[in-house]
Every structure is written in structure tokens, then in C-alpha cells.
Structure 1
Amino acid sequence: MSLDEKFIPVQTAFYQLISNSFKKVAQLLGYPENPGMPTIYDLSTESHVRSKFFDNLPVHRTFWPPIQRPETWFEMIFGPSPKVESVPRYIYENKEEGFYNFYIENYKNLYFLPDWLSEFVQVRLHICLDITFLETIREVLFVGLMVYSQMVILRIALSWFIYINPYTFPWCYIAAAVDWTEDVLQGIVPSILGVNITGSVFLGILGVLADSLNHLVFTMPFLPSEGESTKLLINQQMKDVLVFHYLPTLWYRYPIPNEIREFWYNERPDILDYMQKAYRDLEIQFLPQNIIEEFNNQKLRVDLSQLYNSLILTKNYITDDLSLDILVNRNFLEEKDFFTCINIINEHFHRILLN
């Protein structure tokens, strides 16, 4: 008989002793009739419902290193370059909602620009429909973070090779680019068993920043707060989506960019016709600036022409009336001097102006 088998009765007796002691204490508290504390029912507040909704959302997953799909000889030899795995935007058009609608799949880990920053980019920087520049900036930042993380990894590897002096050429450039992070984090991140882990912590920070760029969504020409949560049938599956549709708020608060209005007028008159009919009560200017100026000039010319014609008619009326009055009073004028005639003409004009 082994030593473990000899201790089995002792083990069983100890378990029974502990079990009986717990039961006796529980009987003092009303066991088994006492069911214990009542359960907490689900709260029906709006915040609780919203938090439960977010908990049920899926997660936008990314992969690092990226999936191996080489497209060139360089990628086949050295591996694929890092690329942003952004959330796709699905653009659609219909007669009810307009031409600039899109939706994205709703995930738990999506990031958006603040409304004030999105408004600044669209209104001040004039980046409204074409977001290629923003996408390029994001890709450059993503690749830059990935390249810098590889430099950090190389710097950590150099510290483990005692026969390599990292402050000699060419390693000194890598040390100069990375060692400042240790100066910043050395007093914050403690060492573990005498090992400096600031490099690993900084790598984690770089990874979080780079991965957040994968989940960043640009909502131009809408503000991020204009997204509406709903469900759509996508690939025979009901999915939670965020829909951006109808007229963007910034196109109501501020004038629509002139290049967009020129595009509507010259190339897409169907969009211009829809905008003018659907939002005619909002007093929004949908025509381009040059057309508005030409229309104002034509209207000004018409108004000046009408004013000129009215002045001509008034002049003829005044002269005809004056000549008739002078003819009637010819005999009287012949008997008076020059100043008397001037007074008669002055009274005549004054009477016409009063009428």
C-alpha cells in the first residue's frame, strides 16, 4: 500500500469534518429553509440598457503579424508590409434618404473623431467627401509606429548581446532613437527581478496606438454623433450597424463647399434637383457661387432697366405737365420778371413731389 493510499481515510475524515461544521453554522442561519439574499433584477434604466447593448456587440478583430498574402517578389521574400485593416464603409443611394448615405458594422472597439475635431477638419480644412488625405495620414502613422516598434525590438535585442557596444557606429543611431523612452519610463515602470522592462511596456503602448488606428472610422461628411444604431440583413445575417443618412448637419449649419455644388451643377444635376426639392424649406444654397453671382448680375441689370424706364416716364410726365402749366400761364409770365417765373416752376415741382 502506497503512502497516498494510507492518507485517504484521513483526507476523507477532514472533508467530512469541514462539511459538517459548515452545515451546523448554516442551520443557525435558517438553512435549508432560508434561500439567502434575494437576486437583483435587471435594471431598466437607459444607461443599463445601453451598456448591455455594447456588451453584446462583436469585436473588430485584427491580426499581427498580418495574414501572409504576398503580392510582389519583395513581399514574398521579406514578408508583407503592414497595412491598416480599417472598418469598411458601405455607401448606398435611394430616393428617400439621398445620395451620400453609408453604413458601417457596429463593433465594441470602434473609435471616432470628436465632433469638434471632425467639424474643424470639414469646415476649416475643407476635407468633406474625399477622405483620401485622412486615409493616407492614418496609413503613414500606422507604418511609422510599426517601423519604430521594430527599432525598439532591435534595441532590446542589442542589450542582451554584451559583446556589442550599442553606442558605437552604426548601433548608436538606434540607441539615440530609442533610449529616450527609458529616460521617460524609468521612474514609472519598476524593474522585475532586476530586469528592465521599460522596452516591453513601451512596445505595448505602441501596439495599442497602432491597433487603434485599425478601428478609427472617418464619418465625413457627417459628424460621428449623427450615426443611428439599427439592424440590417447582411449576407443572410442580422447585424448591428451604424447608419449615416439624410442631410449632414454641417451642410445645414455652414454653406455647402462650393466645389461640391459645382460638381452637382455640372456633372450630377440629379443630385442638385433632389437637394432642391427635398430640402427647399431649409433655405440652403445648393447652386454654385458663380451661378449665384451671374444670376444676381442679371437681376441687377433688370432692376436698373426697370428703374431707368420708370425715370423716363416720370421725366416725360413732369416735362409735359410743366409745359402745359407754362402754356396756360404764358400771358401771366410775360408780365412778370425772371424770378417770378422761377418761383412758379419751383412750386410746380414741389407739388408734383408731394403728389
Structure 2
Amino acid sequence: MSLDEKFISVRTAFYDIVGSFFRGIAGFFGYPTNPGMPTMSEIPSDQYARSRFLDSLPTHSTYWPPVQRPETWFEMIFGPTPKVETVPRYIYESKEEGFYNFYIENYKNIYFFPDWLSEFIQVRLHICLDITVLETIREVFFVGLMVYSQIVILRIALSWFIYINPYTFPWCYIAAAVDWTEDILQGIVPAILGVNITGSVFLGILGVLADSLNHLVFTMPFLPSEGEETKLLINEQMKNVLVFHYLPILWYRYPIPNDIREFWYNERPDILEYMEKAYQNLDIQFLPDDIVTQLNQVSISNSFVDFDSNLNKMVSTELLSKNDFIPTDLVLTKLHSFTSLENFLF
């Protein structure tokens, strides 16, 4: 008989004593008839299904440091420069949905602008189809955060070398660029074993901000809320996607930018024809402003010509010859006034 088998009875007796002790204490609180507090409140089925769906979505993964794929001599010596790893937009055209459709893969960690901010950028700043400016600003901001994070790392490294005074030239510039963060965070972040970790915390904040730019998606000319969740077969795999298609809601609420309408009229008449045919029931102007102005002028000119011809038909020669009905001079004066008005307008 082993030593463990000899103490089985002792172990069982100890378990029974402890169990009886806790059951006795729980009896004062109504055990076993009292079920206790519910572990969680009842969740509606639609919210529960939505939560399960979001949990099932994949994660848009990024890598830092970036994959070592140098393309120039500079990158081969000093390493590749940081680049934004964005969520790709796949643009497509179809006869049913139009020409400005795109879809993106649906991830659980992607971000969008609020609708009001996206509307402000498109309507007030006139950034609609060409989002090169937004992508450039994002990339510059991303590289700036990466460069500043390297400065923070250098400042942390300087604090470990006691023979370097960080407040002397040229290190004082690095200290001035980073030490203001310690003044803000030192009263919030405690020291651990006497070591100041505000620099490490601030470095983590910079990393989160920079990584969030990788997951930011621009939906112009659509609003983020116009995305429709569906599934598509991509590379022989069914994937959850967000589709932005048909007519953007801002092109219905506000006039379509004139440069886009001029592009349709001059270079892409097929898009103009589709828009006029597909959305003919909506009160939307698809022609450029100068073309609409010319058509209005021609319409007004034709209306004056029709008015003159109708007036000549209405007033016969026999009627003009009768001085006792309508004075001939008065009629000729009226006709001359209409002709002068036409010449003045055109």
C-alpha cells in the first residue's frame, strides 16, 4: 500500500468536514432553496444574435515592425519605412447598381468616421470621390507618430545612462520634446518599484493611436451608415463584407459636385445616361451648371419667339385695319416693346 492510499481516508474526512462547514453557513442564507442572484440579466434575442455575429468576425491584423521587404538601397541599410496597412476597398461596376460601388471585408476592429464628420468632409470640404488628400493626411500622421515614438524610446534610453546629462546640448531637444508627457502622466501613472513608467505608458498610447489608423476606412462618396452587411464568395471562401452601392444619400440631399457632373458630360456620357435613366423619378440635377444655364437661355428665347408668332396670329390684318376696335398704333407699340425686351435679355 502506497503512502497516498493510506491518507485517502484522512483526505475524505477533511473534505467532508469543510463541506459541512460551508453548507452550515450557507443554510443561514436559505441554502439550498435560495437560488441566489441571477448571473446576468436577460438579453433580447436580437442583441444576443448581433453580439454573436460581431464576435464571429475576423480581426484585421497588422504587423510591427513591418515585414522586411526592402525595395531601395536606403531601406536595405536602415530598414523599411513604416507604411499604413489599410483595409482594401474593392470597386466594381454593374448595370443594376451603377458605377460607384465598392465593398470591404468586414472586421471586428475597423473604424469609420461619424456620419456628421463624413458629411462635413464631403459637403463642406468638397472631398468626395478623390480621397487622396485624406489618405495622405493619414499616412503623414502615421509616420509622424512612428517617428515620435522613436524619440520617446531614445529619451527612455538616455535616462538609463547616468553619465549622460539629458539637459545638455544636443540631448536637451529630445528632453524638451518628451518630458512634457511626464508632467501630465506622472500624477496619474504610479511608479513601480521606484521606476518611472510614464514613458512606457505614453509609448503604448502612441502605438494604439498609430495602429488605429490602419483600421480606419474612408467610405466616400457614401456615409458609413450606408454599408450593407452581406456575404460574398472571395477566393473560393465565403466572407462577411460591407457593400456600399447604388446612389449615395448625399447626392440626393445635396447637389452633386459640379466637377463630377462635368466629368460625366465630357468624358463619361455612359455614366450620365445611366444616372438620368435610373433616377429619373428623383429631383436630381445630373447635367453641369453651364449646360443647364445654356438650356434655360435657349428655352426662354424660344418662348419669346413663340409668343411673337402667336400674337401675330391672334391679331389679324383685318382687325388692325379697324381703328374703331383697337388702335393700330397701340398694337404696334406693344409689339415693339416685346421685341425690345427680347433684345435686351439676349
Determine if the TM-score, normalized by the shorter chain, exceeds 0.5.
yes
Instruction: Provide the identity percentage.
Output: 69
CA distance in 1, matches of 2:132, 2:80: 22
- Inter-partner Cα distance in structure 2 for 1:167 and 1:189: 23
Alignment of 1:16 onto 2:12? yes
- The superposition leaves residues 157-193 of structure 1 with CA deviations (integer Å, 9 ceiling, x where unpaired) of 0011111011111111111111110111111111111
Matched, 1:199 2:199: yes
Q: Name the structure 2 match of 1:111.
A: 111
Q: Which residue of 1 aligns with 2:344?
A: none
Task: Work out whether residues 319 and 326 of structure 2, in 8 Å CA contact, stay in contact via their aligned partners in 1.
Answer: no
**CA shift at 1:25, angstroms?**
7.2
Taking the aligned partners of 2:220 and 2:7, their CA distance within structure 1 comes to 69
Q: What displacement does 1:322 show?
A: 5.4
Name the SS for the 1:281 alignment partner. coil
Match of 2:322 in 1: 324
Matches within 5 A, 1:1-355: 12=8, 15-21=11-17, 44-313=44-313, 316-317=315-316, 320-321=318-319, 323-326=321-324
Structure 1 residues 179 and 14 mapped into 2: Cα distance closer, same or farther (>3 Å)?
farther
Q: CA deviation at 1:124?
A: 0.6
How far, CA to CA, are the matches of 1:276 and 1:86 in structure 2?
35
TM-score (norm 2): 0.85
AA partner of residue 92 (structure 1): Y
Q: Alpha-carbon deviation of 1:310? A: 3.3
**1:12 deviation in Å?**
4.7
CA distance in structure 2 between the partners assigned to 1:191 and 1:44 by the alignment: 44
Write the distance in 2 (CA, Å) between the matches of 1:268 and 1:250: 21
Q: State the AA in 2 paired with 1:324.
A: K
What is the alpha-carbon root mean square deviation over aligned residues?
A: 2.9
Verify the 8 A CA contact 2:118 2:223 in the aligned structure 1.
yes
How far is 1:269 from its partner? Answer: 1.1
Structure number with greater Rg is 1
CA distances 1:93-133 after superposition (whole Å, capped 9, x unpaired): 11111111111000010000000000000001111111111
CA offset digits 1:225-266 (Å, max 9, x no partner): 000111111111111111111110001000111111111111
| CA deviation after TM superposition for structure 1 residue 211, in Å | 0.3
Question: Secondary structure at the residue paired with 2:194?
Answer: coil
Q: Deviations over 1:33-69 (max 9, x none)?
A: x9x8999999552222111111111110100000101
Letter of the aligned partner of 2:263 in structure 1? F
CA distance in 1, matches of 2:7, 2:272: 85
> In 1, Cα distance between the equivalents of 2:198 and 2:177?
15
Q: Alignment partner of 1:280: what SS?
A: coil
Cα distance change, pair 322–264 in 1 and its aligned pair in 2 (3 A): closer
* Counterpart residue number, 2:30: none
1:223 Cα deviation after fit: 0.2
- 1:247 alignment partner AA: L
1:135 maps to a residue whose letter is: E
SS of 2:101's partner is strand
C-alpha displacement at 1:305, in angstroms?
A: 1.3
Where structure 2 has 5 or more consecutive residues not aligned to the other structure, the ranges are 27-32, 331-346
Distance, in Å, in 2 between the alignment partners of 1:11 and 1:150 is 61
CA distance in 2, matches of 1:207, 1:190: 20
CA distance in 1, matches of 2:14, 2:231: 54
CA distance in 1, matches of 2:180, 2:7: 58
User: 2:231 is paired with a residue of what secondary structure?
Assistant: strand
- Give 5+ residue unaligned stretches, structure 1: 327-343, 350-355
> Distance between the aligned counterparts of 1:233 and 1:42, measured in 2?
36
- Residues of 1 paired with 2:112 and 2:165: CA distance? 44
* CA distance in structure 2 between the partners assigned to 1:14 and 1:179 by the alignment: 63
Cα distance in structure 1, aligned partners of 2:123 and 2:13: 76
8 Å CA contact retained: 2:100, 2:246:
yes
Alpha-carbon distance change, 18 to 303 in structure 1, aligned in 2, over 3 angstroms: farther
1:335 aligned partner = none
Rounded Cα–Cα distance in structure 1 between residues aligned with 2:122 and 2:7: 73
Partner of 1:337: none
1:325: Cα distance to partner?
Answer: 4.7
| Shift, 1:85, TM fit | 0.3
Inter-CA distance 92–309: structure 2 relative to 1 (3 Å threshold):
same
Q: Is the 8 A contact 2:104 2:242 kept in 1?
A: yes
C-alpha distance in 1, partners of 2:120/2:220? Answer: 11
Q: CA deviation at 1:300?
A: 1.1
Q: How many angstroms apart in 2 are the aligned matches of 1:14 and 1:166?
A: 66
| Alpha-carbon offset, residue 24 of structure 1 | 5.4
